[in-house]
Chains A and B, each alone.
Chain A
Amino acid sequence: MIHDRNAHADIYASLAQVRSRLSGGIIHCFSGNWRLARKYLDWGFFLSIPGTVTYPQAMDLREVATKMPLAQMLLETDAPHLTPAPMQGKRNEPAFIAHTARAVARLRKIPVAEVSDATARNVLRAFPIKANRI
Chain B
Amino acid sequence: MIKEQEHLETMLIDSHAHLDAPYFTNQLATVLKRAHQAGVEKIITVGVVPASTRKCIQIAKAHASVFPTAGYHPHWAAGADQARLAEAEQLARHPAVVAIGEIGLDYHHLRSPKQDQQALFRQMLDIAVAVRLPS
Where the two chains meet, the residues of A that have a C-beta atom closer than 8 Å to any C-beta of B are 1-7, 10-11, 14-15, 18, 21-26, 28-29, 48, 50, 74-81, 91, 93-98, 101, 112-113, 116-117, 119-120, 123, 126-129, 133-134
Q: How far is the CB of B31 from chain A (nearest CB, A)?
A: 5
Where the two chains meet, the residues of B that have a C-beta atom closer than 8 Å to any C-beta of A are 9-19, 21, 23-24, 31-32, 34-35, 37-44, 46, 64-65, 67, 69, 71, 73-74, 98-109, 118, 121-122, 125-126, 128-129, 132-135
26 A-B pairs with C-beta separation under 8 A: A1-B71, A2-B101, A2-B135, A3-B73, A3-B106, A4-B104, A5-B104, A10-B105, A14-B121, A18-B129, A23-B133, A28-B16, A48-B15, A48-B16, A79-B18, A79-B24, A80-B18, A80-B24, A94-B34, A94-B35, A95-B35, A95-B38, A123-B44, A127-B44, A127-B98, A128-B98
Q: Which residues of A contact B118 (CB under 8 A)?
A: 10, 14
Is A116 within 8 A of B104, CB to CB?
A: no
Q: Which residues of B contact A15 (CB under 8 A)?
A: 125
Question: Once bound together, how far apart are the Cα atoms of A69 and B92, in whole Å?
Answer: 30
